[in-house]
Chain A
Amino acid sequence: MRRRASLVLLAFAVFFAALSPLIRWYGFPRLAKIPPGQYQHMVLEAKNATLLDYATMKSRKVPKVSIVQTLKGNVEAAEKVGDRTGRDVVVWDTLSYVADDKGKMVSRIPERYVFDAHSQEPVHAGGEHVDGDPVRREGIEYKWPFLTEKRDYAYFDFQTRTSAPIHYKGTRTVRGLETYYFEQTIPWTKVKVPQHLPLGATPETVDQVGLERWYSTKRMFWVEPTTGAPVDGQELHKEEMRWKDQPGRKPLTAFAGHVKMRPDFQDEAVGLVTSQRHLVLALTTYLPWGFLALGGLLFALSLTLEARARGRGPTGETAATGEDGAGPGSGGRGGDGPRDGNGPADGGGDGDGDGTHQTPGPGTGRGKHRQPA
């Protein structure tokens, strides 16, 4: 009986010990994924910002500019791309909508971002675009991969339609969460005029007036490394309308401001990340280490039981040897302990050693135990 228990414990020990690396290295990449139907919105604000008034073509100070970013997972598109590529893919249709202090539209730039649901690598399929322009992203956008590393990443800038390094600058604590701080600077770059501007202005009308759009930004992210989700984001954002072929003429500031997450949305992001990080940690840390420890414990128990069974076995067998021939029941009746004079404690061993000895099969244990006798 004791031996049977040790074998059962051994099976469980191997079960849990095997689960440990399987969950971490096989399960985690397949289970930790961004849901294809995720929907999320975020509001960022720039207080005391400068905006271009398209009616007067003059820059003016406004108390607040809001940037509303919506990310909407397109499940049908993700399934199509997934079927085509054989990967688990997420397709985000996003909109960056900029509104002035009165809620009027300043610009709106839609995007389609297609990426691997686990690794966050861009997938070049499914019509990825920025404001209708086909793009081929390199690197990440909006979110970092699970288990973000302390290193630079390539980050896609949708204004310039190019990727540039976003530098890891150390760890920071944001509302009690340890985060990795990343910074990217985009130098003054000529960029496309958005398709949708106030007063029906279009890239063509802007071009006819003799203006071109330039942009620079310093982008800052505080990323919770387990989930890869930013819990804070800020930008020192500047846009100018520069006169074509008139380098001496003063440019018009189209937008200038320090953009920050609105506090209530930041609270929501922190709450979401705090709950989600435990799910990720369960797959990467809690379960693998817990199961490994449990496996080790069960293995030790199994060995202990086996050792006890073996320790008792020979004595019992010795005493019972003469009765072996009496058939299966004989070992049991051997009453090992008492016959050996080992006292009641040994007698308690009946079940274990005896059960094994009774086994009608080849009874390897039996043979061995007989030897010393």
Chain B
Amino acid sequence: MRALIAAAIGLAAALALVFGITAMGAPPGETSKEPLHTTVPEHP
């Protein structure tokens, strides 16, 4: 019984961690102010 409880705690923690991280997601960021190039850039 204790082993089951320990396993359940481990499973719940893993689910909570992964769901939490994926729910947070990445910040969307901003649209770059850089232009769409109409000249040939000298460097990357």
Contacts and interface: CB of A to CB of B under 8 A. Distances in A.
Interface string B1-44: 11100111111011101100110011011111011111111011
Interface stretch (A67-75, A186-194, A210-218, A231-239): A67-75
Nearest to B23: A30
A31 to B, nearest CB: 6
B31 A74 contact: yes
A127 to B, nearest CB: 15
Contacts of B32: 37, 39, 72-73
Given A11-B6, A68-B40, A70-B35, 9 more contacts: A7-B3, A7-B6, A10-B10, A16-B10, A23-B18, A72-B31, A79-B28, A103-B39, A267-B44
30 contacts: A7-B6, A10-B10, A11-B7, A11-B9, A11-B13, A14-B9, A14-B14, A15-B10, A16-B10, A18-B11, A19-B17, A26-B18, A26-B22, A30-B22, A35-B26, A37-B30, A37-B31, A39-B32, A43-B40, A70-B34, A70-B35, A74-B31, A75-B28, A75-B30, A94-B36, A97-B36, A97-B37, A103-B39, A108-B38, A364-B1
B9 to A, nearest CB: 5
Nearest to A73: B31
B2 to A, nearest CB: 6
A268 interface: yes
A31 B26 CA distance: 8
A264 B28 contact: no
The B interface, classified by DSSP as helix, strand, loop or mixed, is: loop
B28 A37 contact: yes
B15 A22 contact: yes
A322 interface: no
A39 B8 CA distance: 44
Given A11-B9, A43-B40, A19 B18 contact: yes
Contacts of B8: 14
Nearest to A76: B31
A36 interface: yes
Interface in A244-269: 264-265, 267-268
A97 B28 contact: no
Contacts of B37: 41, 68, 70, 95, 97
A74 B7 CA distance: 45
A103 B42 CA distance: 12
Given A41-B37, A68-B41, A70-B36, A27 B22 contact: yes
Interface string A13-49: 1111011001100110011010111010101000000
A364 B40 CA distance: 78
B6 A103 contact: no
Contacts of B35: 70
Interface string A154-174: 000000000000000000000
A8 B6 contact: yes
Contacts of A36: 28-29
Nearest to B32: A39
Kindly list the 10 A-B residue pairs having the minimum CB-CB distance in the complex, ordered from nearest: A14-B10, A37-B29, A39-B32, A18-B14, A15-B10, A95-B36, A268-B44, A11-B10, A11-B6, A30-B22
